[in-house]
Amino acid sequence: MNTATSTAEQDRELTACPECDLLQFEHPVPPGGALRCCRCRAVLYRRRQRGFDRALACAIAACVLWLISNAFPIVGLSVNGDLVETTLFGAVRVLYRDGMWPLAGLIFVTTILMPAAHALGMVWLLLPLHVHRRPYRADAAFRLLRIAREWGMTEVLMLGLLVAVVKLAHIASVVTGPALWSLAALMLLLVAAASAFDERAMWRGVDSASLATPESPTLKGRTASSSGICVCHDCGLATRGVLRHEHTCCPRCGARLHLRKPASLSRTWAYLIAAAVLYIPANLLPVMNTSSLFGAQKDTIMSGVAYLWTSGSWPLAIIVFIASIAVPMLKILAIGYLAASVNLRMTQYTAQRARIYRIVEMVGRWSMLDIYVIAVLVALVQFSAMATIEAGPAAIAFGAVVVLTMLAAMSFDPRLIWDTSDAKETPR
Ligand SMILES: [Zn+2]
Ligand SMILES: [Zn+2]
């Protein structure tokens, strides 16, 4: 009886939850279904229906749309017959010219470079698999794809463009360019490609059978680290024999393997404190300097929200307020609470804290909204005689807050939340 179950278990793949580290065997998942962790309910794996072909088609279309989105103007502004248009790259160039190169770099990476890497990375991996060949350097391409998905923010850019268009419509007549529509389509295609992309199925196509899967230990409530098994952050492969503080790489995708992210808490605190300090100038200093015939005006983030509110676009005022003021502050508080709870070896509310972590990871990127709004306004309002807009010092501080809180969330290891309660339950 016992041997029968153990051979049955050996057929199934061993995995550990990336968020709470509990070792478990995978159950067969029906197409379109998801496998969730039996302790913290994190999604371990989603099986996609006919995923490969759909993901490949979407990725190829996304490559074409990326070209259109960058070759044509996004929006234009016409005042007294003067038409000023800008492309995405044009907005980056104006910011760079004005000496705002950190901002220009951030916008270039998140809206131009990373979406391209996302689409190309998928084509790179899926096209060879489509014709039953092994993709060249699948490991590096896969890890690049993970980074591109994390830092590509086309959907936030679209919302930023919407806010900018509403703001500009009060000044002059706005002309939408072809790139605006292709960017919207690019956003949808990248989402569709990502949701059709089945990572496990891809690795099954790439893997040779040579990878040793760890022999199954007794699982009853054990975590991967207590069994000496390490699960790759990137591709989810379980490997045996990784010691704490040892530099080993994943045999499948080549990512560094750690039982826990190294120096997770100190790095999280460092990023968090830097973000909290910069949050102050980001809100007090002007994000935008407008100079026109009627004089100069300095706008902070809050006064921008107030302007949207008083001019009647209150839904956008609420969106900008949530994305630029509430989310960064709540994110700093939430990550601070999570890190402090691990420092204080708190054992209660583990499931709730795991949920907070998941929400924080999901919403953080939307804070980039205001950066994109500023970039579009700066690029378009360049009527030298009548009005010009320049980005203020707070824009750089604000961009740094968004990046630092994202880095803080990434360096926090959610498995630390469960470690204290695991240690209490099983005294070793
Ligand atoms: Zn879990
Ligand atoms: Zn891996």
User: C-alpha distances in angstroms, 132 versus 12, 203, 246?
Assistant: 25, 13, 36
pLDDT at 243 over 80: no
Weakest mean pLDDT among 202-211, 255-264, 294-303: 202-211
- Give the model's pLDDT for residue 210: 44
Ligand nearest to the CA of 354: 1
How confident is residue 12, by pLDDT bands cut at 50, 70 and 90? low
Ligand nearest to the CA of 41: 1
Please report the DSSP string for 258-277 in residue order.
-SS-TTHHHHHHHHHHHHHH
Q: Ligand 2 centre from 116 Cα, in Å?
A: 23
Q: Ligand 1 centre from 273 Cα, in Å?
A: 28
Ligand nearest to the CA of 18: 1
- Give the model's pLDDT for residue 425: 67
Q: Ligand 2 centre from 410 Cα, in Å?
A: 17
- Determine whether 2 is exposed, middle or buried from the number of CB atoms within 10 Å of its CB (0-12, 13-18, 19+): exposed
Q: Ligand 2 centre from 106 Cα, in Å?
A: 28
- Give the model's pLDDT for residue 273: 97
Ligand nearest to the CA of 17: 1
Q: Which residues are within 8 A (CB) of 343 and not within 5 positions of it... i.e. 6 or more apart? A: 265
Over residues 172-229, the pLDDT tens digits come to 888 888 999 999 999 999 999 988 888 777 887 776 544 555 555 566 667 787 777 8
H and E: helices and strands count for the chain: 17, 15
- Give the model's pLDDT for residue 8: 45
- Give the model's pLDDT for residue 4: 42
- Give the model's pLDDT for residue 398: 94
Residues 309-313 have a mean pLDDT of: 86
The total number of residues shown for the chain amounts to: 428
User: How much is the mean pLDDT over the chain?
Assistant: 85
Q: Ligand 1 centre from 352 Cα, in Å?
A: 12
pLDDT at 241 over 80: no
pLDDT at 2 over 60: no
- Give the model's pLDDT for residue 426: 57
- Give the model's pLDDT for residue 9: 46
- Give the model's pLDDT for residue 255: 82
Q: Ligand 2 centre from 136 Cα, in Å?
A: 16
Q: Ligand 1 centre from 328 Cα, in Å?
A: 26
Residues 355-372 have a mean pLDDT of: 89
For the chain, domain boundaries: 13-46+208-251, 48-195, 261-421
How confident is residue 103, by pLDDT bands cut at 50, 70 and 90? very high
Q: Ligand 2 centre from 250 Cα, in Å?
A: 5
Over residues 34-91, the pLDDT tens digits come to 888 888 888 888 887 777 888 999 999 999 999 999 999 999 988 777 888 899 999 9
Q: Ligand 2 centre from 142 Cα, in Å?
A: 9
- Give the model's pLDDT for residue 1: 36
Are 111 and 124 in contact by the 8 Å Cβ rule? The answer is no
- Give the model's pLDDT for residue 3: 39
Q: Ligand 2 centre from 112 Cα, in Å?
A: 27
Higher per-residue pLDDT: 7 or 207: 207
Q: Ligand 2 centre from 211 Cα, in Å?
A: 11
Higher per-residue pLDDT: 171 or 413: 413
- Give the model's pLDDT for residue 21: 84
Ligand 1 ion: nearby residues, β-carbon < 5 Å? 17, 19-20, 37, 39-40, 42
Q: Ligand 2 centre from 239 Cα, in Å?
A: 9
User: C-alpha distances in angstroms, 183 versus 112, 121, 162, 229, 328?
Assistant: 11, 19, 12, 43, 26
Tokens matching residue 145: 């794809």
Q: Ligand 2 centre from 283 Cα, in Å?
A: 40
Ligand nearest to the CA of 253: 2
Tokens matching residue 86: 């800008």
Q: Ligand 2 centre from 257 Cα, in Å?
A: 8
Q: Ligand 1 centre from 17 Cα, in Å?
A: 4
Weakest mean pLDDT among 75-79, 90-94, 246-250: 246-250
Ligand nearest to the CA of 233: 2
Residues 335-340 have a mean pLDDT of: 95
Weakest mean pLDDT among 55-64, 282-291, 415-424: 415-424
Q: Ligand 2 centre from 282 Cα, in Å?
A: 38
Which architecture, in CATH terms, is 261-421? Up-down Bundle (1.20)
